[in-house]
Structure 1
């Protein structure tokens, strides 16, 4: 199918029903199919009714840019110069035109037609903050190892869902947003509790972000330890010394039931290292000691500085990928653990569990069934797939987590060959590749314990492969918690953009709208526009409602000690127009 065949038709008759009927047609889920059209065994999910009227429909208003609620319109901005700083409404960020890969030809605004529009979530890190295996005690050596806002990840994520639901179209094209893709680290500690919360946040329902004792919080924030912010206590902890507030009722509110409306567009899922590996770095599934510790009734709250530094070095340098040293560390500190309420919901989940949760009809929401994954993935034990975004665009979701352990990524030979084949067999469609890891964070090539003879491949090899295919427009990812937009050009004249988006757990708590347009002059533009959650920029310390907590989540994150103030990136990494030659 020529890539130009349906461009005009898409622009003239774009609607959620048109886009999503195609988007639901997934047939490369396990890397065993050869087409992107549904077969008898892979029926397309029924698409929801369009949220906005189709452009060009008789009596319908024409598509128009929709910037309200985006960072083009306004951005949370600090007040004051030092200490704990309150946030308020501030000016939006401008759009920067990037021409490293192609010239931006005059008149393109009047010629362009829409190919696709969608949203990227990444690094939500929904956290069971009372989980016995969390590493809060690492704060003794690295202040940012524990963040004061972590108990609010669920209301913060729900507010992001509310933001997407409030958007009436793309900020450049006005086209309806076809879907949301979440590019990994959806959960934080590979716990069943977190996986359930993630599925409910995305698809809708009631969530109680509490484990252990159902009556109250049990964790570091009511421990009395001055190393952690004690919001309900009169204890003069280190964070209060920096200006953090005393908030009566904060912890009770943090573990109270939250309601998510669920996304009112379909959503797809890409797996990250924190989803696949305990603590995001240990290839230790099946270790009976750690599995028992995860659901058990003992939790470590603090350790000596020297011990924390030793553990931190092992994690950072990847010298203990199978968690042998970590298990010994916990055993050595058993006498210093405190009693907590045991809870089986904290058990680690496997690759199969992750797939089954996505395939569960209870979490289907607006679809598609499986959110990209299929029964073929379950049978093959894979977590990569391809799907049809629109007539002219396919999406490819990779699994870049190394099952051998460590937080950096890679992919195996089988997946690399599948990626090459999928791009080759869909050469008449533009392609957008999704993954958790960035090209520069895929330098971990430990063998997969389940496939010990298979070679692992790093980011440089993936860039080389993508550069061989003229239909690749973009590689969209996360992991590094920072906005970075990178041009990739090869000697054969082929090029693509790598779009890395900041997390929703570290300030500035962003997601990204991506719009693809054909400029009808031999070039394509990719427009990227960042969005914050729907929570107000201003906080009210007396407001501990679900919305109030979401606003507080952002402000606490901005003030988190040790936080990197540069994660928003420069202007050229935020709201952009990325131009490239049509392949």
Structure 2
């Protein structure tokens, strides 16, 4: 079986941040200078035929073996408890503010679009791999001065009432993963978890620290600015937003939203994450790569100064909000020029908040270096897929071994030229092709943030102006030309969608897109790969919710209570899409493929 050779990708080391003395917040250190252990990652070195090891070159074409293979542990008994096969949070009532309760689970659907499911396979199959996908956590610094809440004056969904509770919601998801016994179908212990991007919401260092701490374990205080109180749109007195602690009759209360005394104090209170009890890997999304998930403006001093400064815009007219939103949707402002002019024009309307340097944007290099910080190792691996070779090469893609017969490949589909849709560079495209060819004897699972249909942004990378960008259609062709590709797992669209793709020469694979954990129904997905021993492979997908109870109490502001409220608020968010759970065929499934 061939070994994978990969280019690790980029991000600036997250420098130790300078915080206001009043905040007492924890710092993010760069984590430079410690050695990678071969058992954790070998992506920073190359091995020649004599078995000697040398340092990576740092060139964009530099290659290195993937991390060491992990053998599948002994399987446990199949189960359904704690998954959406057993029960799903279900709304009560059809109008007004709706409460959640226990509802019936979603049955598994066998999909034979690409191969027929043969009888008797249940007794023949053997597990090859099992893992969990988390996507679009969108950990939100809800008080950040660059947030676009004021777009709610033209689009009610531009601000969501649950946004202050993303951290307790993510911790509850970690708790659910830790309680899983293994794969629901095979009982095989879970090899790892993969986050497929938009781990943060606004490309700021506070959010990145929260994400890494939630995933690897530790104490988190989801608050920036004044350490004693919340300063943002939810205590602004503006009726445009849900004023949870205030008796004011705001727009959301008119729809039935409750008055919850102490909500904001609870939302910024310190909490603890146990961290995942399995290894986890990280894939980058557009919200991780760019301010507001769309602007290629890391070096813009005006926007950076505003991000860490003491002024925040909270309210504009509907007409002005529409102009800015149209600019975002129509991709007319990739460098943030229109946005900057917009903020300058509304400077006098900004409100005073407490400055905080932790709100500064992070660069791609800092993103990778933060993952390499030993403080965030958790259950590993070191760097969570990224390595020092990524820092040297200036890339954010890599490969790793999932099991003896399965490799994983994490792509960087963000476009450094700006905009929230994606693409990949020609160098990464060639690396992907070479990695799949070099590992033709291993099955391959591809991970990315963007879906095939959202990779139509071919704007050139400012750092590589002569490099061609590759879109989703061409990437589908490449994946469909390799016999060993089983699945392309992604997020970005916040919706469950599973799509069959047929390639050349009868080759085929499944594209598995999973809903976010910020919008209802707030899901993650277990994926199990099995050999049916009859000429077919099956991919079993099983959706899971966080550990938070379906039923909530407005008086329970504990860490668990807030996580439950996070889900219920997302259900009731005005303007929220109601189709994000997808159809039955996009949820709990068995996806059958011909064995190659």
Is 1:410 the counterpart of 2:423? The answer is yes
Alpha-carbon distance, 1:39 to partner: 5.7
Distance 1:134 1:98 in 2: 41
RMSD: 2.2
Distance 1:33 1:155 in 2: 43
Distance 1:288 1:100 in 2: 52
1:333 corresponds, among 336, 341, 346, to 346
Distance 1:29 1:96 in 2: 42
Residue correspondences, number: 554
Is 1:556 the counterpart of 2:536? The answer is no
Given that 1:358 and 1:370 are in contact with CA atoms closer than 8 Å, whether structure 2 keeps it comes out as yes
Distance 2:367 2:215 in 1: 14
Is 1:376 the counterpart of 2:366? The answer is no
Change (3 A) 1:38 1:47: farther
Deviations along 1:79-113, one digit per CA (max 9) or x if unpaired, are 11211110011110000000000000001000000
Match of 1:127 in 2: 140
Is 1:200 the counterpart of 2:220? The answer is no
Alignment of 1:465-504 (within 5 A): 465-504=478-517
Query: What is the TM-score with the length of structure 1 in the denominator?
Result: 0.92
Match of 2:29 in 1: none
Match of 1:535 in 2: 548
Distance 1:412 1:66 in 2: 42
Deviates more, 1:346-355 or 1:62-71: 62-71
Given that 1:34 and 1:422 are in contact with CA atoms closer than 8 Å, whether structure 2 keeps it comes out as no
2:237 corresponds, among 224, 246, 250, to 224
Match of 1:239 in 2: 252
Alpha-carbon distance, 1:304 to partner: 1.1
Alpha-carbon distance, 1:24 to partner: 5.6
Deviations along 1:144-199, one digit per CA (max 9) or x if unpaired, are 00000000000000000000000011100000011000000000000000000000
Distance 1:446 1:325 in 2: 18
SS at match of 1:101: coil
Match of 1:576 in 2: 589
Is 1:79 the counterpart of 2:116? The answer is no
Distance 1:192 1:67 in 2: 38
Alpha-carbon distance, 1:321 to partner: 0.2
Given that 1:26 and 1:386 are in contact with CA atoms closer than 8 Å, whether structure 2 keeps it comes out as no
Distance 2:387 2:182 in 1: 29
Match of 1:150 in 2: 163
Is 1:307 the counterpart of 2:320? The answer is yes
Alignment of 1:287-366 (within 5 A): 287-366=300-379
Given that 2:42 and 2:67 are in contact with CA atoms closer than 8 Å, whether structure 1 keeps it comes out as no
Match of 1:400 in 2: 413
1:137 corresponds, among 150, 153, 156, to 150
Deviations along 1:424-481, one digit per CA (max 9) or x if unpaired, are 0000000000000000000000000000000101000100000110000000000000
Given that 2:413 and 2:424 are in contact with CA atoms closer than 8 Å, whether structure 1 keeps it comes out as yes
SS at match of 2:103: strand
1:437 corresponds, among 410, 429, 450, to 450
Match of 2:182 in 1: 169
Given that 2:68 and 2:401 are in contact with CA atoms closer than 8 Å, whether structure 1 keeps it comes out as no
Match of 1:545 in 2: 558
Is 1:65 the counterpart of 2:75? The answer is no
Change (3 A) 1:34 1:423: farther
Change (3 A) 1:44 1:258: farther
Alpha-carbon distance, 1:63 to partner: 2.1
Alpha-carbon distance, 1:27 to partner: 4.2
Match of 1:461 in 2: 474
Alpha-carbon distance, 1:26 to partner: 4.1
Alpha-carbon distance, 1:490 to partner: 2.4
Match of 2:400 in 1: 387
Match of 1:516 in 2: 529
Distance 2:419 2:572 in 1: 29
Distance 1:509 1:295 in 2: 30
Given that 2:41 and 2:68 are in contact with CA atoms closer than 8 Å, whether structure 1 keeps it comes out as no
Change (3 A) 1:38 1:92: farther
Alpha-carbon distance, 1:273 to partner: 0.1
Distance 1:372 1:38 in 2: 23
Change (3 A) 1:539 1:495: same
Distance 1:477 1:208 in 2: 29
Given that 1:45 and 1:367 are in contact with CA atoms closer than 8 Å, whether structure 2 keeps it comes out as no
Distance 2:265 2:290 in 1: 30
The answer for unaligned runs of 5 or more in structure 2 is 4-36, 56-63
Alpha-carbon distance, 1:115 to partner: 0.4
Given that 1:132 and 1:300 are in contact with CA atoms closer than 8 Å, whether structure 2 keeps it comes out as yes
Alpha-carbon distance, 1:548 to partner: 0.1
Is 1:275 the counterpart of 2:288? The answer is yes
Distance 1:151 1:25 in 2: 35
Given that 1:131 and 1:294 are in contact with CA atoms closer than 8 Å, whether structure 2 keeps it comes out as yes
Distance 1:138 1:307 in 2: 9
Query: What is the TM-score with the length of structure 2 in the denominator?
Result: 0.90
Given that 1:25 and 1:43 are in contact with CA atoms closer than 8 Å, whether structure 2 keeps it comes out as no
Distance 1:245 1:305 in 2: 26
Change (3 A) 1:54 1:462: closer
